[in-house]
């Protein structure tokens, strides 16, 4: 994406839900260090990522504390880990098309870095840090509530299902395999959809799951795929 492509930035702002007063903050949030190495004088997104990580932790802690009022500290910690990790944040980044806007060096781009969970999750945190600096705590909190908090379980009893995608990512990496790729289909009317999710690793189907929400179906598919690595 060209540095001065205002139209592309406007599209991203719409998906983030925040219009920047200082777009230079957003531009910096999209600068991966591999791009900066090839464009001397530019700043990478690493400092913004550091800030965004802290802001994200605060916002998720507050949201989970309020939503699950009678949940003990240990489960709240597990809940936070389930949504504040590279796999979960990369999913959010994909939903808003963030990978299409991240600036990568030639080598990283050739290696499809825009799809790597680590790069996507770092960029998401950097954008959050930029929103915090540009719009303050309220704007950053609203971004987390709108984009990340929907990943919370409906009830705390579902918490034990939330780590299947993370677990699959870790097991695939340890086995020297590629990152899991999820596809989905849905049937039924809008008010009563059924989702069927398939998960592939290196183009091989490893698991499927069916649920009333895409999130639930993904978790079931990931759980099935995890068994392949047992």
Q: Kind and range of the H or E element at 131?
A: helix 117-147
Alpha-carbon distance of 173 to 168, in angstroms, equals: 8
Asked about 125 being catalytic, the answer comes back as: yes
Asked about 62 being catalytic, the answer comes back as: no
φ, ψ for residue 184, nearest 5 deg: -145, 155
φ, ψ for residue 146, nearest 5 deg: -80, -40
Task: Decide if 222 contacts 209 (C-beta within 8 A).
Answer: yes
Nearest to 145 by CA among 122, 164, 167, 128: 128
Q: Of 108, 125, 134, 218, which one is the catalytic site residue? A: 125
φ, ψ for residue 166, nearest 5 deg: -65, -45
Distances (CA, A) of 37 to 15, 25, 101, 103, 141: 28, 19, 18, 11, 32
Query: How do beta strands 181-187 and 194-201 pair?
Result: antiparallel
Q: Of 49, 53, 91, 108, which one is the catalytic site residue? A: 53
Task: Give Cβ neighbours of residue 212 (< 8 Å, ≥ 6 apart).
Answer: 192, 193, 194, 195
Question: DSSP character for 190?
Answer: G
Active site residues: 53, 125
């Amino acid at each position: 994406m060209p540095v001065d492509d205002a139209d592309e930035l406007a599209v991203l702002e719409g998906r983030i839900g925040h219009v920047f007063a200082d777009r230079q903050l957003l531009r910096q949030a999209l600068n991966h260090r591999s791009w900066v190495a090839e464009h001397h004088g530019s700043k990478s997104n690493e400092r913004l990522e550091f800030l965004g990580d802290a802001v994200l932790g605060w916002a998720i802690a507050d949201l989970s504390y309020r939503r699950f009022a009678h949940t003990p500290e240990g489960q709240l910690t597990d809940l936070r880990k389930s949504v504040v990790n590279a796999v979960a944040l990369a999913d959010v980044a994909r939903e808003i098309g963030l990978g299409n806007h991240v600036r990568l060096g030639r080598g990283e781009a050739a290696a499809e870095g825009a799809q790597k969970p680590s790069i996507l999750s770092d960029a998401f945190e950097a954008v959050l840090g930029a929103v915090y600096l540009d719009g303050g705590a309220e704007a950053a909190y609203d971004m987390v509530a709108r984009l990340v908090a929907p990943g919370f379980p409906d009830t705390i009893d579902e918490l034990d299902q939330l780590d299947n995608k993370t677990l699959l990512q870790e097991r695939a990496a340890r086995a020297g395999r590629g990152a899991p790729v999820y596809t989905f289909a849905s049937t039924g009317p809008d008010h009563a959809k059924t989702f069927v999710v398939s998960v592939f690793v290196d183009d091989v189907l490893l698991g499927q799951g069916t649920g009333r929400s895409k999130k639930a179906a993904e978790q079931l598919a990931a759980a099935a795929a995890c068994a392949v690595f047992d």
